[in-house]
Every structure is written in structure tokens, then in C-alpha cells.
Amino acid sequence: MNNSEPVVDSGRSKTPVRKVFRHRYIQRLQRRHFFLFDVIPLCSLLLLIPFWDYLRPGFVDISLLVAGWFLTGLGVTVGLHRYFTHKSFKTSKPVAFLFAALGMMAVVGTTYWWVGIHRRHHELSDQEGDPHSPHLHGSGFWGSVKGFVHAQIGWLAGHDYPNPNHYVKDWLREHWLVRINRHYMLFVLAGLLIPAGIALIFEPTLQSALRGFFWGGIVRIAAVHHIVSAINSFCHLVGTRRFNTAEHSTNLSILAIPTLGESFHNNHHAFQTSATFSHRWWEVDIGAITIRVMEALGLVWNVRRPHITRPQKAAEKSAAATPPKP
Ligand SMILES: [Zn+2]
Ligand SMILES: [Zn+2]
């Protein structure tokens, strides 16, 4: 347990609550998750060298990979990020369940873990305690390289665990969410087996099922992990800054499509509770478009949008935006 971490008042009970935990058992779980869902998927790409003829993707396999990226990617950006972390819109329980399920099928941790980590990132962005800042690893070229590797993948091997009683207290009252979080591994398994099952429907052979499992499951997990991590690394290192926010967040248009709009990260840090990260017509934010379509269909409501004041608009670059609290 980390004793140097300050404690905070827990509210009515007056019992101090630790903000993060550091425990050998939690670190072992983190290392296991890192090995199973980061190291193995990445290394399994090497199987393509000896088994290319067996694993060569067909139209169905590529479609499963793209559909898997799109759906689980939406689960992360619209579900875990914009809805559960920042509450940038309201929705019904079935839609919230769907987003939580898709987010966990991306294998980026349970809903509580992801929301806790991300709220801590906003609280301490690029300062000591930020779980995945690329700016805390020394200066110069090698400091940046070390920071990049940490933000892209290294931090997942072991980090402080955000205390749900502090960071995710608002969601702990939702018993249905507590229940499905306990079954995280079932969602992980579903994300691996559903593409294998769909591939079987198109071609009922073992080879087809294995190809669906490989491309729609394993390769998709590796791709989505690195796309999500690119926000932590690239979008705090390179790109443009429209708003002079307190941390080093950037906008990086080249990643707009793969990240489904997340790469307008400087816009997001400036207006954290906004459901849209796009502030210009050319900033394509597929997550925001999805929310807009769902709003038109009556599936989501009370959608929050950025409120840019005139002085902010006139001097975007020089005036610091005053971000609403997450
Ligand atoms: Zn950030
Ligand atoms: Zn955020």
C-alpha cells in the first residue's frame, strides 16, 4: 500500500479515503492483464510469418477486424470516456449497458478501472501521479523516447490503482454496473468468440473459425489498444494546441479516423464535459457524429456541447480555456 499518497475526506462518513492503492496482489493482476492482452496479441502477429497461408485474411476476416475496431472503439470513446467518465450526455440503462459491454470487449479494463484512471489523468495531467503522462521521464531526446514508450504501453504493466471509492463513487450506486464489472472476463471472451462464430457462419471450417478469432479477436485487441494509447502518447507530445490548457495535450488530425475523434485531445482537455471534441467542420469526430445520430433517434439526450465565449474565440491561442470539472 502506498503511504505517501495523500488521503481525502470521504464526505459524510469523515473517514479518510486513499486516492490510489499500490498492492502486490493488484500489481500481479495488472502484470497478468498486460501479458495476456498486450504482450501476447502483439507477439501473435509474428505467427503470420510461418502461418501466412493458413491465416491469410479474406473479406470476412477484414470485415470482422474493421467492425470490431469500430464497435469496441465506440465502446471506449462514447461509452467509457464521454458517458461514464464525463457524463456528457444522458441515456437509458440498456444503452449504457451496451456501451459498458462494448468498452469492456475492447479489453481496456473494467468500466470502474478505466473511468478511475481517466479521471485521475484529468486531475493530474502531465504532473506527478498522472498514470500515463509521457512528460515525466527526463528531458531531451531519450527522455521523450522513454516517455513515449511509457505512455504507449509501459504504464499498463504496473501503476497505481485508482480507488473507486474516490474516483468512481458516483457509479458505485449502480448495482447493474457493479455486477457486469465483476464479469469483465466474460466480455473479453465474447469479444474473442463472437468473431470466430460469425466466421463459422460464412464458412463452417476450423480454419475459418481460427481466422475469425485471430483477425476479429487478437489482432483487433492489439489494434484498439495501440489506437487508444496513441491519445496518451502522441496527443500529449506532438500536434497543435488551440487552447492554452495547463497540460501538454494536442490536437492531431491524422489520428482522427482511427481514434473516432479522440485525437482532438486539446479541445477535449479544454472542454472536458463536452460530448463533441470537434470545434471545426473539418475536425471529423465519429464519436460525436454517433452521439448526434443517437440523439436524433431519441436514444440519448441532454447532450453537452462546448460553450466557447467570445473572448475565448477571439484569443483561443493566448487565453487559457476554463475547463468545466469532469
Ligand atoms: Zn490527456
Ligand atoms: Zn477525458
- Residue 15 grid cell: 473517514
SS3 149: helix
C-alpha separations of 27 from 124, 134, 161, 226, 307 in Å: 21, 21, 9, 21, 41
pLDDT tens digit sequence for 235-249: 999 999 999 999 999
Q: What is the CA radius of gyration of the chain?
A: 20
Distance 262 CA to ligand 1 centre (A): 10
Find the ligand nearest to 87 CA.
2
Q: Are residues 90 and 300 in contact, defined by beta-carbon separation less than 8 angstroms?
A: yes
Which residue stretches of the chain are H helix?
A: 24-34, 40-44, 52-55, 59-74, 93-105, 111-123, 140-152, 164-167, 169-172, 175-182, 184-202, 206-212, 220-233, 265-270, 286-296, 310-314
User: Stretch 13-37: mean pLDDT, rounded?
Assistant: 86
User: Stretch 18-34: mean pLDDT, rounded?
Assistant: 91
- Residue 323 grid cell: 475547463
Integer distance in angstroms from the first to the last C-alpha of the chain?
27
Domain with 120, as residue range(s), is 19-243
Instruction: Identify whether 256 is part of a domain.
Output: no
* Number of domains making up the chain: 1
Distance 250 CA to ligand 1 centre (A): 8
Q: Are residues 266 and 243 in contact, defined by beta-carbon separation less than 8 angstroms?
A: yes
Instruction: Identify whether 118 is part of a domain.
Output: yes
Among residues 213, 262, 248, the alpha carbon closest in space to that of 73 is found at 262
pLDDT tens digit sequence for 205-246: 999 999 999 999 999 999 999 999 999 999 999 999 999 999
Distance 131 CA to ligand 1 centre (A): 10
Instruction: Identify whether 131 is part of a domain.
Output: yes
SS3 218: helix
pLDDT (0 to 100) of residue 14 = 57
- Residue 114 grid cell: 478505466
Instruction: Identify whether 166 is part of a domain.
Output: yes
Find the ligand nearest to 232 CA.
1
Can you tell me the distance from the alpha carbon of 124 to that of 130, in angstroms, rounded to the nearest whole number?
Answer: 5
Instruction: Identify whether 269 is part of a domain.
Output: no
Instruction: Identify whether 76 is part of a domain.
Output: yes
pLDDT over threshold 50, residue 11? no
pLDDT tens digit sequence for 52-97: 999 999 999 999 999 999 999 999 999 999 999 999 999 999 999 9
pLDDT over threshold 80, residue 323? no
pLDDT over threshold 70, residue 36? yes
Among residues 275, 258, 256, 285, the alpha carbon closest in space to that of 69 is found at 258
Distance 165 CA to ligand 1 centre (A): 22
Give CA torsion, residues 46, 258, 88, 171, to 10 deg: -10
Find the ligand nearest to 231 CA.
1
Can you tell me the distance from the alpha carbon of 189 to that of 178, in angstroms, rounded to the nearest whole number?
Answer: 19
Distance 203 CA to ligand 1 centre (A): 43
pLDDT tens digit sequence for 129-182: 999 999 999 888 899 999 999 999 999 998 899 999 999 999 999 999 999 999
Can you tell me the distance from the alpha carbon of 84 to that of 36, in angstroms, rounded to the nearest whole number?
Answer: 26
Global pTM reads 0.89
At which residue does the C-alpha cell 457486469 appear? 180
What contacts 3, CB < 8 A, 6 or more positions away?
none
Q: Which amino acid is at 220?
A: R
Instruction: Identify whether 154 is part of a domain.
Output: yes
What contacts 6, CB < 8 A, 6 or more positions away?
19
Instruction: Identify whether 281 is part of a domain.
Output: no
C-alpha separations of 26 from 6, 7, 37, 159, 269 in Å: 19, 19, 16, 9, 29
pLDDT (0 to 100) of residue 308 = 67
Can you tell me the distance from the alpha carbon of 174 to that of 315, in angstroms, rounded to the nearest whole number?
Answer: 42
pLDDT tens digit sequence for 254-280: 999 999 999 999 999 999 999 999 999
Indicate the burial class of 65 (C-beta count within 10 angstroms; 0-12, 13-18, 19 or more): buried
